[in-house]
C-alpha cells in the first residue's frame, strides 16, 4: 500500500516539474513549487510510516516551513516586478 502511495506522489512530482518548466506564467510556476513541496512533505510522511521513525516527520515540518516562506517570497517578488513594469509603461 505504501509503495502505491509513493508512486502516486512521484507522479505528482513529475506533473509539478512539467508545470514548473512549461509555465507559461509566474503564477503557474509558484503553484508548481507548492506542488513539489507538498510532494516532499508526503514523501517524508510516507517514509516515516514505512520505517516507523518519527525523524522523517521533523523533516516534513521543516519542508512545510521552507515551502511556506518560499511561496510568500516568490509571490512578493512577482508582485514587485509587475509593479515596476506597470510604472515603466507609458
Q: pLDDT over 90 for what percent of the chain?
A: 76
Q: Provide the number of structural domains found in the chain.
A: 1
Collapsing DSSP to helix, strand or coil, 8 comes out as helix
Note down the domain range covering 77: 2-88
The predicted-structure confidence for 54-68, as pLDDT tens digits, reads as follows: 999 999 999 999 999
Quickly state the pLDDT bin for 26 (edges 50, 70, 90): confident
Per-residue confidence (pLDDT) for residue 87, from 0 to 100: 76
Say if residue 43 is preceded by a cis peptide, omega within 30 of 0.
Answer: no
Global pTM value = 0.85
pLDDT band per the 50, 70, 90 thresholds, residue 89: low
Q: How far apart are CA 29 and CA 74, in angstroms?
A: 10
What's the chain's Rg over C-alpha atoms? 17
Q: What percent of the chain has pLDDT over 70?
A: 98
Residue 88's alpha-carbon distances to 26, 27, 74, 75, 79, in angstroms, are 19, 21, 21, 20, 14
Amino acid at each position: 500500500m505504501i509503495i502505491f502511495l509513493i508512486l502516486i506522489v512521484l507522479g505528482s512530482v513529475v506533473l509539478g516539474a512539467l508545470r514548473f518548466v512549461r509555465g507559461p506564467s509566474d503564477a503557474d510556476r509558484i503553484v508548481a513549487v507548492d506542488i513539489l513541496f507538498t510532494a516532499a512533505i508526503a514523501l517524508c510522511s510516507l517514509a516515516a510510516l514505512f520505517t516507523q521513525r518519527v525523524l522523517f516527520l521533523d523533516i516534513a515540518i521543516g519542508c512545510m516551513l521552507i515551502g511556506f516562506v518560499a511561496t510568500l517570497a516568490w509571490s512578493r517578488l512577482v508582485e514587485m516586478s509587475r509593479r515596476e513594469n506597470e510604472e515603466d509603461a507609458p
